[in-house]
Amino acid sequence: MADSTTADPGATDDGEDRRDFLLIATSTVGAVGTALACWPFIDFMNPSADVLALSTTEVDLSPIEVGQSITVVWQGKPVFVRRRTAEEIEIAQAVPMGDLIEPEEDGARVQKADWLIMIGVCTHLGCIPLGQRSGEPKGEFDGWFCPCHGSHYDTSGRIRKGPAPNNLPIPPYEFLDDTTIKIG
Amino acid sequence: MATPTWNNPIVKWIDYRLPVFSFMHHELVDYPTPRNLNYWWNFGSLAGIVLVIMIATGIWLAMHYMPHVDYAFDSVERIMRDVNYGWLLRYVHMNGGSMFFIVVYIHVFRGLYYGSYKNPREILWIMGVFILLAMMATAFMGYVLPWGQMSFWAATVITSLFSAVPLVGDAIVSWLWGGFAVDNPTLNRFFSLHYLLPFIIFALVFVHLWALHVHKSSNPLGIDMKGPQDSIPFHPYYTIKDTFGLGVLMVIWMFFVFFAPNFFLEPDNYIEANPLVTPAHIVPEWYLMPFYAILRAITFDIWFIPAKLIGVVAMFASILILLFLPWLDTSKVRSAKFRPIYKQFFWIFFVDCLILGWIGANPPDALFMDTVPLLIIGQIGTAYYFLHFVLVFPLLGWLERPRMVPESISAAVVAAEPPAPGSV
């Protein structure tokens, strides 16, 4: 009982005893167990299996004319698919690296020079840049223009002016044949 | 209890302005607790922990659950199959409901055995009855959410109870449904209320604990603490004892979660709700079965009052009568330890509750040993249930001669300990 706690037979010379060991061991096991129990709650909020299953999108490129763009949805985000004109390709390839905010060769951003495929989400704060449809502002570099905070992207989707820090990202994709791609 | 002095400057700064650390120290560390509490006193804190786990898992499940008749069933199956650890959180929550009631029922029977409801703990007890009622409502509405066959028909049967109310019964039922049958509006509001009620329970638990901490815990001897020699600080003595009990509860709970997750569930609830077909055998969850048996026991009209109404009133009365227990029990002695006759009646009452539960689990027209209709047994069980409160409790206080109550907790503890060697 409470009255008989005065003498601790397990006490050693250095002032540590079995009780200290038990207290630390118990607390440690309890803390580790609680931390482990948190993981299912955290992982519960991650993308679920059915969401991950929608991670690829196939796109038929055949109806797209030269100089036309389409927007497809991949993982809930817009992907810009543009069949570039020879002029656009030429401009994109001729830009000196020193002029770029995030230097990147045009050749590194496309698998086939005709087809520019990138995620159409502004790298500043997530708006969708304009320039997909004819008549929309394309910005000072004739590519895309984000209306939210004025970021200008060139014909390779690289950031040239404005607050966005990075070029429009390129999603993983492959050509299944000449007119079909699989994104993701 | 002296206010502790804090060494940590941040703790000190906060505590001077908002004495939260002193409060915690006073109520959870220094808090004087009877030194003779046995393991039956674990179940209050266990219930509190189960409530917290239920709220946590419930909030998480709501992140993926969809309260719509077209999606509810599928969203629960999606939680089971596609959502990371969804199966774990759902099974913890689902079996947690049963664990909650096991723990709380033991807690209630502990109170009945040791007379914990008596002066000056009447309000503490009444708050407990309110918590029990709120738990039942919450559990029932949670059972509806997966939108299986048992969910749907439980919702239909339970809400239809209110149609027994004279004159406005049908209007009340239609109001509860938000329509002319259990449908999407019903599911939506049940989800809303199922989310709300646990927080109301949480608030009631706070009041329950507030009342508890005024006059402190009762104890197996049922006598008051008379001084420091009768108590020990809550920490570490009862924190460690409660932690051990929590470990045991977790072993049992996780056994069901991992090895028998659907043990408490009716298989029919994995069939999506169909408003056109009722399952052959409708039963509530086990924790509501005794009350369901009382509902079904009333098959006869009394004068002009229809049986249906009496059944519903009897069912609600069987819980509400607990509110009056502190005054129905006329004995001044709290603990059944010193009440030889009450102790026997306590066990009769306990068995009666088990029998009512068994009756509630069986079809209404079944026979026991091919001869005795279960209905008759249910009616006798129901009669005893009420007689126990309105007859046994008041009369025993007058007729029973209690045994001698010890002078103090410490005196009883010392007397029970073997004498030290050489002291004889």
Burial code (b: 16+ CB inside 10 Å, e: under 16) for B9-40 equals eeeeeebeeeeebbeebbeeebbbbbbbbeee
B412 to chain A, any CB pair closer than 8 A? The answer is no
pLDDT average, residue stretch B88-102: 98
Instruction: Report chain A residues whose CB lies below 8 A from the CB of B85.
Output: 39-41, 43-44
Q: Which of A149, A169, A174, A176 is catalytic?
A: A149
- Cα distance between residue B381 and residue B347, in whole Å: 14
Instruction: Report chain A residues whose CB lies below 8 A from the CB of B416.
Output: none
pLDDT average, residue stretch B363-370: 84
Under the banding of pLDDT at 50, 70 and 90, the label for residue B369 is confident
- The minimum CA-CA distance between A180 and chain B, rounded to whole Å, is 30
Give me the torsion for CA of B310, B316, B317, B318, rounded to 10°: 110
pLDDT average, residue stretch A158-165: 94
pLDDT in tens, B110-139: 999 999 999 999 999 999 999 999 999 999
Under the banding of pLDDT at 50, 70 and 90, the label for residue B398 is very high
> Which of A14-18, A19-23, A27-31, B318-322 ranks highest by mean pLDDT?
B318-322
pLDDT in tens, B67-90: 999 999 999 999 999 999 999 999
Under the banding of pLDDT at 50, 70 and 90, the label for residue B283 is confident
pLDDT at B423 over 60: no
Q: Would you call A149 a catalytic residue per the annotation?
A: yes
Q: Which of B241, B266, B329, B352 is catalytic?
A: B241
pLDDT at B416 over 90: no
CA-based torsion, B149, B152, B155, B158: positive or negative: negative
Least confident of A132-141, B136-145, B394-403: A132-141
pLDDT at B280 over 80: yes
pLDDT the model gives residue A2? 45
Mean pLDDT of chain B: 94
pLDDT the model gives residue A184? 85
B254 to chain A, any CB pair closer than 8 A? The answer is no
Domain ranges of chain B: 35-220+230-279, 283-402
Domain B35-220+230-279 has CATH 3.30.1360.40: no
Inter-chain CB proximity B60 and A48 less than 8 Å: no
- The minimum CA-CA distance between A127 and chain B, rounded to whole Å, is 26
pLDDT in tens, B285-314: 999 999 999 999 998 888 888 999 999 999
pLDDT at A52 over 90: no
Under the banding of pLDDT at 50, 70 and 90, the label for residue A17 is confident
pLDDT at B184 over 90: yes
A94 to chain B, any CB pair closer than 8 A? The answer is no
pLDDT average, residue stretch B201-219: 96
pLDDT the model gives residue A19? 86
CA-based torsion, A61, A64, A65, A71: positive or negative: negative
Under the banding of pLDDT at 50, 70 and 90, the label for residue A12 is low
pLDDT average, residue stretch A109-128: 94
Predicted TM-score (pTM) of this structure: 0.87
> Which of A6-10, A18-22, B274-278 ranks highest by mean pLDDT?
B274-278
A46 to chain B, any CB pair closer than 8 A? The answer is yes
